[in-house]
Amino acid sequence: MKSNRKILVTGADGFIGSHLTEELIKRGYDVRAFVYYNSFNSLGWLDSLPGDIKRNLDVFAGDIRDPYGVKEAMKGCTHVLSLAALIAIPYSYHSPDTYVDTNIKGTLNIVQAARELGIEKVVHTSTSEVYGTAQYVPIDENHPLQGQSPYSATKIAADQMALSFYKSFDTPVSIIRPFNTYGPRQSARAVIPTIIGQIASGTTTIKLGSITPTRDFNFVKDTVNGFISVMNSESSVGEVINIGSNFEVSIGETAETIANIMNVDLKIETDEQRLRPDKSEVERLWADNQKAKQLIGWEPSYGGKEGFKRGLEETIEWFTNPVNLASYKTDVYNK
């Protein structure tokens, strides 16, 4: 089944994309990695992969905002896993136009090319942020969508653009909606690397934004398996599927758990610049993952409190490696 597939992964140079690309190659898939063009010839996190993985990579450097480059990258591919996006919420407050171009127009470029090229399956990446603060829990796929930041608004629009091509042209699109993914290689703009990085750098007084919101954290290995399950499932076409652990935990409790694993007494200071505007903060996220279990046979290996702790231990082990930690500026707030 794998031998006749050519899979394009957009955003392959990023956090989740690099893990997904690595796992696909390990499973024997033929992978083309779409990376963001830059004059440094950097492949992002793909540069850190083992040599045997990189030797099996077909790399295409381009820009998801360019329809001609996107179509060129997709030629000869059978499946597209579309992860390329701007995702930092604070950055979206002052530069929303870039989010419209990247997240909405970028998605249009993917589905338009898929329609023209006859791609067998497009897996479009959504986010739990589209739900906004939970109106009920756990959050299933029928929960209302709420654009509480320019970022989430563009992701809602991108999801609808992708689904519109399925409904209008029968373009085989599936929407994967991961909840808060964490793990090795994650950007320091995210809360778990922020906590680990500050502690690993020797401080026991760390700076955070609000610690009362809850999140449904999903270890990156589970997210990657979710992508592959959606890609391989015929029943996922035209569907929106949550990928989450079905476990709710506050930011404050997350910090305490990390501190316990790292064996430090922690003090948390509120950093005003890390606070979202009141109406923009998503106060509660908790995934209902029954649809993923029933429709595509996916369930988390790192679910629940014990699974969360195991995932944090693996993440801490990676971040506290001096070689990896050196890639992060732990004393600077990364928006």
Is the model's pLDDT at 269 over the cut of 90?
no
The pTM assigned to this predicted structure is 0.95
Domain boundaries defined on the chain: 6-182+218-243, 191-215+247-285+304-325
- The CA-based diameter of the chain, rounded to the nearest angstrom, is 57
Is the model's pLDDT at 301 over the cut of 50?
yes
Residues with Cβ within 8 Å of residue 2, at least 6 apart in sequence: 27, 28, 29, 30
Is the model's pLDDT at 2 over the cut of 70?
no
C-alpha 140/C-alpha 133 separation (Å) is: 13
Q: Which CATH architecture has domain 191-215+247-285+304-325?
A: Alpha-Beta Complex (3.90)
**pLDDT at residue 183 in the model:** 98
pLDDT tens digit sequence for 99-148: 999 999 999 999 999 999 999 999 999 999 999 999 999 999 999 999 99
Is the model's pLDDT at 323 over the cut of 50?
yes
- Residue 227 exposure: Cα atoms within 13 Å on the Cβ side: 33
C-alpha 65/C-alpha 11 separation (Å) is: 12
Torsion of CA 143, 189, 230, 164, to 10 degrees: 60
Is the model's pLDDT at 271 over the cut of 80?
no
Residues with Cβ within 8 Å of residue 117, at least 6 apart in sequence: 71, 74, 75, 77
Residues with Cβ within 8 Å of residue 231, at least 6 apart in sequence: 7, 79, 81, 121, 123, 174
**Apex 19 CA angle, 59 and 310, nearest 5:** 170
Instruction: Please say whether the structural domain 6-182+218-243 has been given the CATH code 3.40.50.300.
Output: no
**pLDDT at residue 1 in the model:** 44
